[in-house]
Amino acid sequence: MASADKLINTDVPEKDVFALHFLRSLSNLRTQNPLNSPDKSIDRVRKIKKAAYVSMARAAGGNSRLWSRALLRRAAKDDNKSVRFSRRKRKVTWKISSKRRRSNQRAPVVEEAAERLRNLVPGGGGMETSKLMEETAHYIKCLSMQVKVMQCLVDGLSQK
């Protein structure tokens, strides 16, 4: 469906890629806290969640998507040692839509919803609405894939 649409390309890699990245990040997590596991469950949860997002961003194409880039950058900013984030070689020109937000002639209904979406989707702050929707589509796909992988993991572990 996505690949058929030549205007918007929202191809997402297979489940394996997501699984691989996620497991990798989990193993990295484990090596970080070798034997001393004094961390509360909340910290653990947070770490796992972050690992999930980061691995999803990596699996979904690293720097090729705006949202994944923003996600990785955010993660690298918080925790420098775990996330490796390289700057793009060529400068990314961000579309400053703030100017447009002020003079909002565009359909206000759409725009307010887009505002909410911008808060949800990482990196949405600098995007135009049409671009935002593209990114949202890809983000939704990747998120659903990640959810599937995690669900499988949980099932596998809980069965054991």
Q: Which chain residues interact with another protein by CB under 8 A?
A: 1, 5, 7-8, 10, 15-16, 19-20, 23-24, 26-31, 33-35, 37, 41, 44-45, 48-49, 52-53, 95, 105-107, 109-110, 113-114, 116-117, 120-121, 128-130, 133-134, 136-137, 139-141, 143-144, 146-147, 150-160
C-beta of 40 vs 88, nearer to another protein? 40
Distances (CA, A) of 82 to 11, 47, 68: 27, 11, 16
Q: How far is the CB of 102 from another protein (least distance, A)?
A: 15
Cβ atoms of 71 and 124 within 8 Å: the answer is: no
C-beta of 33 vs 80, nearer to another protein? 33
Q: How far is the CB of 28 from another protein (least distance, A)?
A: 8
Q: Can you tell me the distance from the alpha carbon of 42 to that of 9, in angstroms, rounded to the nearest whole number?
A: 37
Q: How far is the CB of 140 from another protein (least distance, A)?
A: 5
Half-sphere exposure of 52 (CA within 13 A, CB side): 18
Q: Can you tell me the distance from the alpha carbon of 112 to that of 128, in angstroms, rounded to the nearest whole number?
A: 13
**Token pair belonging to 121:** 């989707």
